[in-house]
Structures are given as C-alpha cells and as structure tokens.
Structure 1
Amino acid sequence: MITAVDHIQLAAPPGSEERLRAFYAGVLGMTEIPKPPALAARGGCWFQAGPVQLHLGIEDDFRPARKAHPGLRVTGIDSLAARLAAHGAPITWDDGLPGHRRFYSGDPVGNRLKFLEPL
C-alpha cells in the first residue's frame, strides 16, 4: 500500500531558519519551497531536490538525533564531500555498505545526514 516517501521531517531549534537556508539551499543546492499558509506560522522551512523533500520543523527543546538520519542518494559524491568540507561540514566516510560509496555529515544544527552513491 505504501508507494513512496512523501517527505522527511527533521527538527531544528527556534531561530535557525537562515542557517538552514544557507546550508540546504546554498551548499546542497536544494530549492526552498513555500510552506502552506496554515503551517508557515510554526516556523521552519521546506526544501526540495527532484522528488526528494526535506521539511525542517521548529522544536523548542531541540536535540539532534545521534543515530537517526535520512539517507540521500547522490551523484558526484566526491565533489559533494569536497563542497561540504569547504563549508565546514564534517565528513566521515563509511565503507560498510557493499556496492555503494557513502559518508555521514551534519547540517548546521547537528542533524545527521548520510549521502550515498551506488557504484
């Protein structure tokens, strides 16, 4: 019955929207999409790249998850890793998934992100 993932929601602390925009739109090249008016008053911001949507919602007592993360499939993984590193994002390569190259990084508020490219 499930046919697709509609979006992934990550949390963020109050007042972090500009840092999130700089990272998700500026560094990752995602497009910010408008939140519906009924939800816009809650703060946060939404981004899209192709069919992938990431929603960043504001959480007053925000604490980033230590293990949970979205896995984002990419092309040009080496270029992406270099771009993230140039912007001060941590890069931790992991060769634990056969048939893929992958690394972990984080957004400006500490959300864990995995980027992977099939070989």
Structure 2
Amino acid sequence: MITALDHVQLAAPEGSEALLRAFYADVLGMTEIPKPPVLAARGGCWFAAGGVQLHVGVERDFRPARKAHPGLRVRDIEAFAGRLSARGAEVTWDDDLPGHRRFYSTDPVGNRLEFLEPLTDA
C-alpha cells in the first residue's frame, strides 16, 4: 500500500559533488540535506525542495540518464526557465503534454530533468 514517493535517486560520477551542489542548490534553489554518516561515506548529495527529495549517488561506471528522469513540478515556469538559462543551463521546451507547460534540462553530469507546470489547477 504505497502512500507517497519518498525520493528519486539519480547517479553521478565519483568526485562530482561540488558540481552537483552548485547546480541543485545554487541553480535550482534546492536545499542540501545531510546524509546519514554511513551513507555520506559513499559520496553523493541529497537535496530537497517543498515535499520533494532528490538523492544523487555515486556510481563507478556512471552513465547519465538520458531518457529516465524525474519530473519536477514548478510554479512560474517561464521565470524558472529564465533562471536556469541565466545560470548557463540549457532549456528545451516541449509542448507534447496536454494541459502542461514543460521543458527539459540536464544536470552538470548529463542526467535528464523535466520541469513542468499545469496550465490550470484542475
């Protein structure tokens, strides 16, 4: 009996934590949350915004997720896209999801991210 989505996990190469922090905290505006010490020893970073947690873990044979991705709901998507663009992130708009405004971007290690906003609160 599933009650909620606890977090989404993405992978990243060893030693990329500084890049991840700069992107997820500074560009996206998420807050880094502490990992438990036993998990922190493995590398990676955890972030949160609203009720969403995004965990980025280290993977030795890392390959970025180019199709699989988290879909992150945002408010004022035009301003959010402008924020990303102004900080050097590529924004690719996609109009294929009825009832939503959305775009794709990638994190600094190449993982695909979707950002979307419903056109109405229905």
Question: What TM-score bracket applies, with the shorter chain setting the length?
Answer: over 0.9
* Structure 1 residue 46 displacement after superposition: 0.2
Q: Percent of pairs identical after alignment?
A: 79
Letter in 1 for 2:97: L
Question: Displaced runs of 4+ in structure 1, greater than 3 A?
Answer: none
CA deviation vs aligned residue, 1:11-38 (integer Å, no higher than 9, x gap): 0001100010000000111000000011
Q: Mark the runs of 5 or more structure 2 residues left unpaired by the alignment.
A: none
Amino acid at match of 2:35: K
TM-score (norm 1): 0.98
CA distance in 2, matches of 1:57, 1:97: 30
Task: Name the counterpart of 1:34.
Answer: 34
Match of 1:2 in 2: 2
1:89-117 deviations in Å (ceiling 9; x for gaps): 11110011111000000000001000000
SS of equivalent to 1:57: strand
Q: 1:54 maps to what in 2?
A: 54
The answer to which of 21-30 and 82-91 deviates more is 82-91
Gaps of 5+ in 1: none
Give, in angstroms, the shift of residue 43 of structure 1.
0.3
Query: Which residue pairs with 2:45 in the alignment?
Result: 45
1:42 deviates by 0.1
Q: 1:113 matched to which residue of 2?
A: 113
AA partner of residue 92 (structure 1): T
What is the TM-score when the length of structure 2 is the normalising length?
Answer: 0.95
Task: Report SS of the residue matched to 1:105.
Answer: strand
107-116 or 84-93: bigger deviation: 84-93
> d(CA) in 1 for partners of 2:65 and 2:55?
15
Aligned equivalent of 2:20: 20
Q: Distance in 1 between matches of 2:90 and 2:29?
A: 18
- Aligned-partner Cα distance in 2 for 1:36–1:72: 24
The residue aligned with 2:92 is: 92
Distance (whole Å) between structure 2 residues aligned to residue 65 and residue 24 of structure 1:
16
How far does residue 85 in structure 1 lie from its aligned partner after superposition? 0.9
* Cα displacement (A) at 1:2: 0.7
2 CA distance for matches of 1:24 and 1:66? 18
